[in-house]
């Protein structure tokens, strides 16, 4: 059983920081100066917690730009991967973007996670590029389609 919260940074920052620190900074070696940005204060954040209230996963939805939703900073703690939490978060973020009127969702997928996003209806576009030293690819999907 999981609790899924969607809200502003000032409400969810503590939980989101815990997950992002463990996944991006400690596990993936991303410099702390590259992880935190001014966009956090502008985004809607999602945090998934277990029944004890411990944060297990997080993601953010940036403000809409010309009908395009950008999803970022998706992270699930290693021991909780493969249990559907990422798919649940992505589905809810897509629904949130649809409700606010966005027509398309885009994200920068780490190359190793491309299959996960493809299974959720996202298609790769363009070439692989490096972001914080990690290979990524832009992926997008129309928001007229339902999440799998």
Whether the model pTM is above 0.75: yes
Where do we find the tokens 């502003």? 8
Contacts of 32 (CB under 8 A, 6+ apart): 25
Tens digit of each residue's pLDDT (9 = 90 or more) over 30-60: 999 999 999 999 999 999 999 999 999 999 9
* Domain 3-103 CATH (choose: 3.40.630.30, 2.60.40.1120, 2.60.120.260, 2.60.40.420): 3.40.630.30
pLDDT at 118 over 70: yes
Average pLDDT value for residue range 83-99: 95
Contacts of 96 (CB under 8 A, 6+ apart): 6, 44, 61
Check if the beta carbon of residue 35 is closer than 8 Å to that of residue 121.
Answer: no
pLDDT band at 148 (very low <50, low <70, confident <90, very high): very low
pLDDT at 146 over 70: no
Name the CA dihedral angle for 3, 75, 128, 130, rounded to a multiple of 10 degrees: 150
């Amino acid at each position: 059983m999981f609790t899924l919260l969607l809200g502003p940074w000032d409400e969810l920052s503590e939980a989101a920081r815990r997950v992002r620190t463990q996944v991006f900074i400690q596990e993936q070696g991303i410099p702390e100066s590259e992880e935190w940005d001014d966009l956090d204060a502008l985004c809607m954040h999602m945090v998934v917690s277990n029944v004890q209230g411990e944060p297990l996963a997080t993601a953010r939805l940036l403000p809409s730009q010309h009908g395009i939703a950008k999803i970022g900073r998706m992270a699930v703690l290693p021991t909780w991967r493969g249990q559907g939490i990422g798919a649940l978060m992505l589905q809810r973020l897509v629904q949130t973007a649809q409700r606010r009127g966005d027509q398309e969702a885009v994200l920068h997928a780490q190359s190793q996670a491309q299959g996960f996003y493809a299974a959720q209806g996202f298609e790769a576009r363009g070439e692989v590029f490096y972001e914080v030293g990690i290979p990524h690819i832009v992926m997008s999907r129309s928001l007229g389609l339902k999440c799998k």
